[in-house]
Structure 1
Amino acid sequence: MSNVQLENGFTRIANELLEVIQQYKFSLNELKIILCVFRFTYGFNRKEHEMSLTFFMNHTGLNRSRVNSSLKSLIENNVLIVTKKGNAKTSNTYMFNKNYNTWKIEKYSSFTSGKTDTSVQIDTSIKTDTSTSVQNDTRPSVQIDTQERNIKEILKKEDEEEMAKDPVHYYQQIFVHINPFQIESLVQWVNDFKGNKDVVNLAIEETAKSNPRQPFRFLESILRDWHSRQLFTVEDVLEDKKKAESKKVANFNEYRNKKASEIDWEAL
């Protein structure tokens, strides 16, 4: 029996994006490619990832020609963006274009006002040769050139604050060094805290204040403690600290009063 639980990991995707995808005429193979990109970008709290044709084949079950043709279609229709062109030793790096208003794929008629302009769909003059692999096609393409010109603009439109809040980025700013295993661990901690990056960042700040010899181990001890006590948000942590401080003051006052009661004032 399968045991599908959020605690085992999840991928954060905006509801608006899931809803709008259903309005466009994607093929089944294209949807499988999109889901694969979602899993290995948003699923790891990153915007892009290097993926080869073999990688897509292994994770979608599609054969090489279907992966290749689906990728070409998604790239040409500005749904996927090649942020870094691969070479003989490396694969393309892909990013999903959340700016769906720039997609060139056709919508279902029930989601359009009036007739759908399919001129982009019909005009194949700018399409690349489908006999050539996406990974190895290095010839100029009007579509790819257009995408490359727009990459910086699209990336800039992405929420810059999201990057600033990313725990991996934040940890690197403070402690500089972080290895791949620690990166994966931080990503998992964000998932464990229900996607609340701010509370993980707060733990990073607490670690920096303590200045321990092994900061990452110290950080994880804080996160384990908060998670075990179900302090999943910054508000939860601050409220817990407030209660702890109040209890500390109350205990001190109780101790002081007890000591005062033990004094023989008449003897003094």
Structure 2
Amino acid sequence: MLSNPQRENGFTGIANEILDAVACRKFNGTQFRLLTVIWRYTYGFQRKSHPFSHSFLHERTGLSKDSIKRGIKGLINKHVLVVVKEPGFSSARELAFNKDYDQWNVEIDADRAEESIQREEGNGGGESSPSSGDQNTPSPGGKLDPHRKKEKEIKTEKDNDEARAGDVFQFYETNFGGRMTDYHRDFLGGWCDDLSPDIVLEALKITLLNHASSLKYTARILNEWDKNNVHRLPDVLRYEKEKNGRKETSNDGQGRRNHRKSPPQSARSKDHHSITGGQIGWIKPRIRA
């Protein structure tokens, strides 16, 4: 039997302006799927907020709880979601969607923005055509105006990010001896979006250096950096260098304390443990009778 959804059986009312704003921004797949569920259980019931537990979101999306945790945290940090009420002992955190998209800290997708501009210029979407003073007109000398130049820079940055994310996937497949599943791609891709591909790659390298092979180990590294607001590769390298320096200092101090606690050995004790009995020079072997 074919599906036959009807509006009278329930619908979610979302302003077209919000859909347009979401469509041209760089939300990852996890974030977008979470947004659809949050819209469904807020706007779909004519309410502004609702408690959302990780278990509830897992049931509705099929995403892993780690992915949900990162996705929700990212949407909150980017001001797309608002925490109305913190979780309690027996209640989930209450979330609301922030419809003021000017407050969102989400990068605009240059490809989609460029398509929108071209559509407006060609009047292909049926909307009003640009005025004669359109600011997208190239300036004298054949140079791009600042708006177009910025879009080109964003597109280049996006292409570079996607290429580096591909390097992360390739590095995992080559060095961790496993096939890239949807879970691995979602895990690594989510962290690439939240931090950067370069930082995720560094975490994978540290995982290998510590003779670990589980992404749970990598997640602990990334969570530690995120918790300490270490969000750029130079900061990561500095943070790890300082942490390793503290470990070496601690180990040296522990070694000196252990050395001071060790009692001095007597000459007799040394003789007892020495294969030569404390004598110097050639030891004549005893002849058995």
The TM-score with structure 1 as length reference comes to 0.44
The TM-score with structure 2 as length reference comes to 0.41
Higher relative contact order (Cα pairs below 8 Å, separated by 6+ residues) = 1
